[in-house]
Structure 1
């Protein structure tokens, strides 16, 4: 492959299955969505309650469960909102399996977010962790009778983070039986954190901090050791229930001599997932669809056909230079299947495949020769084969989803890297929007590239998992991006 940049040209010619009408949500629906479920840190919004949703807010679990839940306001008109999470058979597609433990709790509810009164908010000049916590929106979670389980509180956190995706943190107050023991257990998962203490012991520090970034890292995920969005499934997409400690660190040399004069020392890598298995899945509320990635199966005729069609599309070939016959592509994919440093995958929305990705370990890749790679740094190559899946409202889902997978699959991964051509303004703009910066310029034999980099802390601080409603991604102010 000659190019490491993503191919996302705005061509109107598609090459694979798509729904009859696939357009961006209307301005009115996006405005409604933002007013109902998004929090923007402005003073005007701090003084207002969010408007009631016109219909239930739908949440779904990722694969292989796909369980649907509705978040509804049960309060009478004019009364403070009281939200309940219920199973929603009307929105279930019937293809999932029941979760191993119930996540809904009929006696569990939460209110609307609110802010402290103006005279109780710390001054702007105080940026201590205590002051930031006091400025965060707060919400009360209540239950009657039995105390909820940790998985049931995880579902509430999922609802809160999805309803208020721009809130970096929420201050949560618990009200119900045995709350103290629940809080202690929640702290042990990392999903909730104690309210920071102020410099004055007499100041208020009520509530417990739900951090958006720790939620998206998988804290308190209810289905085993791996975060819910990166399931451990077999080739038939059934959960692998046996669990072991994290894959150990062990140095393993690799050499490509004499084919290439390349010798590398790097950590031993965990075996690849089963070909054909779902390796990432996330419900996208603004699309009302699941974004999913599956491990490519080079022995699957349909996978091979799709790869061959896309690589022979002139638009894709201009960036990848991998045109060829079915047999040549069979050999290409087989070679990558045997290469432990590369994982190939397809991506789709609700089962309709539209893109192909290659995820690699940077130390064993040629990228490792251009910067001081850390042992678990990863990079990716991307192409969108079906250009009808274009536009920021879709790219925001899959661009962040691919990055999310790379960080979650190996918790020791600190940096993600890329090498798009410096002339790829659209690719660069999407990278910048998701936290990347230009580390330096690289003059490769076939192009001048930008070494793009983003670290784990920055990505999860931004948590760029929601479309902001803009029709066009903004360019960067980075001076190197303009060279």
Structure 2
């Protein structure tokens, strides 16, 4: 096997103009219009609107709320996300809002104070805020209880989610990427067509008819370890992702798996979505989703075929280390691993150049 949710009716807005961004705090779409000459960010949703000032001087990014009354919290999150998207080279953002807002922002880790008491938003912390990208984030991690299955001891896993689990606007595509839990009746025909595509079949080797693929998906949906996902751009399905807990997966026998390590497989079924701009969107986003889904997940693993050169190249561009080649019974694979610390510290949600949307990475020794 190569490693390669129902959307709310209003969840994905129409395609945006060149100077617009879309953010989804608490699952609600917020359009953000950027006027660079006026240093203005205008945030609007069906509930409220707010206008911010955005400046970048001497390499320092600053977002300022211009009045004494507090802006809506969701609009604040949308403005911060947009500012970082417009300036992907920025590691921090100075946030200027009414004083009464800072305690809650500090409490959630959105804002931290420097040695001089100046409030800053570190990108590394902000991108760990699930409210921006998960429509229904968990309020607390699922409690731990050790159990055993198939001779492996591991934590009891939470019930599987339903519907859309992740949504992120991709600026260089002017489109919204989402992952939703596979719906058997809705997605079976598409999944079967993808599995019989020669490009997919070369790596997955799971060609078959609808009955075979129904049986395969029923088993996946019924297994507590696996989460089958359909990936979409603007609600158009283009690929299948399968997330799993590594401890009780076959891969767990090939390295020292931790209790909350996650792994994933994928296939891109629609040929129109196999280019570099799309890889630069979905590959970091599946990693982002799995890290946000459980704050205890410190490592992601993947095991593509060792001869899948394109996949290995893209994984390296998105922060995955190639640890070792090893032999499954059915294939020779490469163990790839992404660390939570590396993903957020290196801002791996945007791949390194030459991927679309990337920006030169400054040396952290010489940047704030």
TM-score (norm 2): 0.86
In terms of Rg, which structure is larger? 1
Question: CA-to-partner distance for each residue in 1:402-424, whole Å, 9 max, x for gaps?
Answer: 11111111111110001112221
Whole-angstrom CA distance in 2 between matches of 1:320 and 1:138: 45
Q: How well do the aligned residues superpose, as a CA RMSD in angstroms?
A: 2.6
Displacement, 1:425? Answer: 1.2
2:202 aligned partner: 318
Q: Render the CA deviation track for 1:158-183: whole Å, top value 9, x for unaligned.
A: 221111122122334x26xxx33322
Q: Give, in whole Å, the separation in 2 of the partners of 1:404 and 1:227.
A: 13
> How far did 1:362 drift?
0.2
8 Å CA contact 2:63–2:93 kept in 1: the answer is no
Q: Which runs of 5+ in 2 are unaligned?
A: 5-16, 357-368
Q: In the alignment, which of 240, 253, 256 is matched to residue 369 of structure 1?
A: 253
Deviations, residues 247-294 of structure 1 (Å, cap 9, x unaligned) = 101112112xxxxxxx111011110012xx111111111111100111
What does the per-residue CA deviation read over 1:342-367, in whole Å, with 9 as the maximum and x for residues that have no partner? 01111110111110111110011001
Aligned to 1:409, which of 293, 307, 314? 293
2:132 aligned residue: 228
1:279 aligns to what SS in structure 2?
Answer: strand
**Residue 165 in structure 1 maps to residue 88 in structure 2:** yes
Aligned residue number for residue 215 of structure 1:
126
Q: Deviations over 1:443-482 (max 9, x none)?
A: 222322111101111011122334667379xxxxxxxxxx
Q: What runs of 5+ residues in structure 1 fail to find an aligned partner?
A: 7-53, 76-80, 89-97, 116-135, 198-204, 219-225, 234-242, 256-262, 473-483
Whose strand fraction is larger, Structure 1's or Structure 2's? 2
Structure 1 match to 2:67? 144
Q: List aligned pairs for 1:273-284, cutoff 5 A.
A: 273-274=161-162, 277-284=163-170
Partner of 1:305: 189
Pairing 1:4–2:6 present: no
> Aligned equivalents of 1:401 and 1:331: distance in 2?
29
- 1-structure distance, mates of 2:351, 2:340: 20
Corresponding position of 2:224: 340
Deviation per CA, 1:324-351, whole angstroms, max 9, x where unpaired? 1111111110011110000111111011
Pick from 24, 29, 32 the counterpart of residue 69 of structure 1. Answer: 32
In the superposition, the TM-score normalised over structure 1's length comes to 0.67
Q: Which residue of 2 aligns with 1:124?
A: none
- Matching residue within 156, 171, 178 for 1:292: 178
